[in-house]
Amino acid sequence: MTTYLRPGVYVQETLNPIQPVVGPSSNTVAAFLGANDRGPTTPTLVSSWSDYTTKFGTWNTSVGNDLPLALYTFFANNQSPVYVTRVVGSGASAATRSLNDRAGSPQPTLKVSANNVGAWGNTLNVTISDSATTGYFNLIVYFGGSAAANIVEQWTDITMVSSDARYALNVVNSNSQYITLVDLGSSSSGVTKNPSVLTNQALSTGANGASVTGTAIAGALPLYDVIPQSLVLNAPNYTDDTTVNALIAYAEGRGDVFVVVDGVADTVANQLTLAASYTNSSHAAVYYPQITIADPTVGVGAPKTATKTLGAGAAVIGLYAATDASRGVFKAPAGLQTRIATAVSVTPLSNSDLDTLNSSNPPVNAIRFISGSGIVVMGSRTLKSGYVDKYVPVRRTLIYLEKSLKDLTQFAIFEPNDARLWTRINATLNSFLTGFWTQGGLTGNTPAAAYFVKCDAETNPQSAIDNGIVNIQVGVALQRPAEFVVINIGQYSGGTTVTVA
């Protein structure tokens, strides 16, 4: 902050007449939630598969592998960051161990807890040793055993003196991926407050709790309220109507969420019956059938027949993100270029199956093998039929535009509501929409044919101004995907078109 030493008038230039325009790509992030052995129970940003395994572990032994397999297939198809939330059942608890200090009459001084709930924490061991620096101690964390190969973290030269720069809680809690420390308030001081030397003491009482139900999944959805970006959401392998409809209700309530629903391992008829029980919404789409991948949970040298069959939702979201980055939200994430990486086979669908999936009310998007392209997504319809937003890219474009326009006009709150503000709003939104049209996001040969923005005295009469309201009218010409390519062929001979019988 500038310091002014003498009275006077000071001028600072800021040349920024128009609000910064959001980027041409969708400000959307993928989000997953489901059961897992280990990991944070709040939305956690994960940047890669290795980052996921660091924060959530690899393959599960207590619960199914739906969540890690979903993340595995997502990152195989795209490398953009995602939010992951581990959902736990009632009764889950974190493993802990209380350590005593070094006083003549020992008192509890330090509690070591697993970073998050679950029986996984019972496989954590801790060792306390004296540091080479007088007055400090070392803390070693083991995971899955007590051998040197099981050491996952080492914290050296730490102390229980809270005024010290190496205070154990400050050093460990902000950095550890495995444990959290709590000062138990020992009345001892100095070196005697440090925990006693001990070797390979296991944490205990960690519990997984009850099985994770659809109700628990639905109850975890509000945790995503704190995420400012729009979301593409998937709960791997949760396909029952109660859970899916809860996801859709959350998406519609927020307005900036799109739900991708896994297909089921069942017949086309039963998949369509299940889809008909979902809410008729343009904020969700179903992808069928499931895909088969080489089983990543088995070790090197496993038989070639070791495969896993799972819902394609996470892989499809990966294709959403890849299409957003390369083209934009207005491009349907479907077609011969949307090959699903890791997929080695998929249940073949007959022409009749394909016709039924696409034309049913609601429709279900097909995944199929096409020679020369591989296993690709060949559908881009939402659960809502009969309206322009029946297409996935139309709804996602609307989500993107609504959020972008909202973000771009935040500056207008509490500004004087007059012609200068209206001019600024018009300039800001016109600049953004022109860029989006240039990218290909809107149809029309000219900007005037693609959109309009109106914020003036006509849309803002004195009555609106008196009530603190600024009205902005925006119209956009949305792109629709070319779903059917129809070619009419006639025989051409000597300048005459001959009808072919």
Instruction: Specify whether 347 is located in the same domain as 495.
Output: no
Structure tokens at 110: 């330090």
pLDDT value at residue 1:
54
Instruction: Specify whether 137 is located in the same domain as 222.
Output: no
Per the structure, the complete domain to which residue 487 belongs is given by: 415-501
Interacting residues of 64 by C-beta distance below 8 A, sequence separation 6+: 35, 237
Q: Domain end: 202, 228, 249, which one?
A: 202
Q: Is residue 399 part of a domain?
A: no
Q: Domain end: 202, 225, 249, which one?
A: 202
Structurally, how many domains does the chain consist of? 3
Residues 44-56 have pLDDT tens digits of: 999 999 999 999 9
Q: Cα–Cα distance between 152 and 144 in angstroms, integer?
A: 10
Find the CATH number of the domain harbouring 289: 3.40.50.11780
Angle between helical axes of 66-77 and 313-326 (0-180°, round to 10): 30
Q: Is residue 3 part of a domain?
A: no
Instruction: Specify whether 272 is located in the same domain as 319.
Output: yes
Instruction: Specify whether 122 is located in the same domain as 151.
Output: yes
Residues paired with residue 181 on neighbouring β-strands, in sequence order = 112
pLDDT value at residue 15:
46
Q: Cα–Cα distance between 227 and 453 in angstroms, integer?
A: 29
Q: Is residue 498 part of a domain?
A: yes
Instruction: Specify whether 424 is located in the same domain as 458.
Output: yes
Residues paired with residue 100 on neighbouring β-strands, in sequence order = 108
- Reading across the β-sheet that carries 137-143, which strands appear in turn? 151-158, 137-143, 124-130, 198-202
Instruction: Specify whether 222 is located in the same domain as 303.
Output: yes
Instruction: Specify whether 368 is located in the same domain as 457.
Output: no
Which phi-psi region, left, alpha or beta, contains residue 237 (left: φ > 0; alpha: ψ -120 to 50)? left
Instruction: Specify whether 162 is located in the same domain as 220.
Output: no
- Using CA atoms, how far residue 168 sits from 160, 173, 197, in Å, is 6, 8, 15
Instruction: Specify whether 273 is located in the same domain as 137.
Output: no
Q: Is residue 16 part of a domain?
A: no
Instruction: Specify whether 61 is located in the same domain as 102.
Output: no
Q: Is residue 10 part of a domain?
A: no
Q: Cα–Cα distance between 410 and 228 in angstroms, integer?
A: 14
Q: With a cut of 70, which residues of the chain have pLDDT below it?
A: 1-5, 8-26, 300-302, 304, 492-501
What is the per-residue DSSP string for 49-75? HHHHHHHH-SS-SSS-SHHHHHHHHHH
pLDDT value at residue 16:
47
| Opening angle at CA 306, ends 303 and 311, nearest 5 | 165
Beta carbons of 285 and 357 less than 8 angstroms apart: no
Q: Is residue 162 part of a domain?
A: yes
Which of 30, 29, 26, 27 is closest to 315 using CA atoms? Answer: 30
State the maximum Cα–Cα separation within the chain, in Å, rounded to a whole number.
Answer: 111
Find the CATH number of the domain harbouring 180: 2.60.40.4290
Its pTM stands at: 0.89
What is the per-residue DSSP string for 315-363? HHHHHHHHHHHHT-TTS-S-STT-B-TTEEEE----HHHHHHHHHSSS-
Token pair 């992030």 in the structure block, residue: 29
Instruction: Specify whether 140 is located in the same domain as 80.
Output: no
Q: Domain end: 337, 358, 393, which one?
A: 393
Which of 381, 455, 384 is closest to 422 using CA atoms? Answer: 455
Q: Cα–Cα distance between 325 and 323 in angstroms, integer?
A: 5
Instruction: Specify whether 365 is located in the same domain as 241.
Output: yes
pLDDT value at residue 17:
46
DSSP state, residue 242 = H
Q: What are phi and psi of 86, to 5 degrees?
A: -85, 125
412, 418, 419, 420 alpha-carbon torsion, rounded to 10°: -50
Q: Is residue 406 part of a domain?
A: no
Q: Is residue 80 part of a domain?
A: yes
Q: Cα–Cα distance between 324 and 322 in angstroms, integer?
A: 5
What is the per-residue DSSP string for 169-222? HHHHHTT-SSEEEEE---S--GGGGSBPPEEEEEPB--B--SPPPHHHHHHHGG
